[in-house]
Copies of this chain bind each other. A is one copy, B any other.
Amino acid sequence: MTNKLSTQHKILDAAQSLFAETGFNDTSLRQITSQAEVNLASVNYHFGSKKELIQAVLQRYLVVLMPRLDQEFTRLLAAQQANNLSQVLSVFVKPLLELNKVHQNGTRIFLQLLGRGYTDVQGHLRWFFNHNYGRVLDKLVLLVQQACPDLPAGELFWRLHFSLGTVVFTMASNEALAEIAEADFNEKVDIEGVILRLLPYLSAAIAAPVSTVTPISHNAPLLAGEGR
C-alpha cells in the first residue's frame, strides 16, 4: 500500500487541472510545481520543457481514447448497412466516459484540454495530434457520410467543423457554464450530462435540411423549408 506518488505523476496531475482551467499559456510552471509540491526544476528534468509536458498531459488520455474510438469506428464501418447519425455519434460516449478511469474527472479534464488545444495558440499540438491520430478521424468522416448520403461533401465539411466548435467551446468554458446552470436552474450537471445533451443537438444539426438560400442578402426570406 504505497501512497507515495512519483514526482512525474504529481506534476501531471497538477498540470492537467491547471491547464484545463486556465489554459496552457496562462498556467506557469511555478503554479504547477507549487500545487504539485515538487521543485520547479523537476518539470524540465522529467519532461524536458513545458511544451513536452503539455503533450505528456494529453498523451495520457489519447493513448486510451484513440484506440478505443478506432475500434468502434472500424466495427461500425464493417456493418452491413449504413448506420444512422445517432448511432455514429453515440460511439463517442463510452470511450469518453472511460477516461474517468484514467483519472478522477478524466473525461471533463480531457475535453477541456482538447478545447484549450484549439483556442490557445499551440501549433505544436495541432501537428502532434494530426500526425498521431489523423487517420482515426478519417473513419469518422466516412461514417457520417454514409449516415447522411444526401448531404453534399462541402456542406458536411462545414457542419463537422461547426460541431467540433460546439464541443470544444462548450468544454473550454465548461466551468463557467456549469456554474451558471446550477445557479439558474438548480441542475447539477456533470460531464456525462453535458455529453448526453450534446448528442441530440449535434444529430439534428448535422442532418439538418440543406438551405436553399439567397446568397446575396436582400430583404427576401433567408431560409426555405424551415417552418417548425
Contacts and interface: CB of A to CB of B under 8 A. Distances in A.
Interface of A: 21-23, 25-26, 84-86, 90, 93-94, 97, 115-116, 118-121, 126, 147-148, 153-155, 157-159, 161-170, 172-173, 176-177, 180-181, 184-185, 187, 189, 192-194, 196-211, 213, 215, 217, 221-223, 226-228
A123 to B, nearest CB: 10
Nearest to A221: B90
**Interface residue SS majority, chain A:** helix
Contacts of A227: 84, 86
Chain B CB within 10 A, most for which of A126, A203, A210: A203
Contacts of A226: 84-86, 200, 203
Contact of A166 (B21, B97, B166, B221): B166
Contacts of A162: 166, 170, 197-198, 201
B185 A154 contact: yes
Contacts of A169: 115, 118-119, 164-166, 168-169
Nearest to A21: B121
A113 to B, nearest CB: 13
B211 A199 contact: yes
B222 A93 contact: yes
**Which 10 pairs between the two chains have the least Cβ-Cβ distance?**
A165-B169, A204-B208, A205-B205, A154-B185, A86-B226, A200-B211, A119-B119, A204-B204, A84-B228, A200-B208
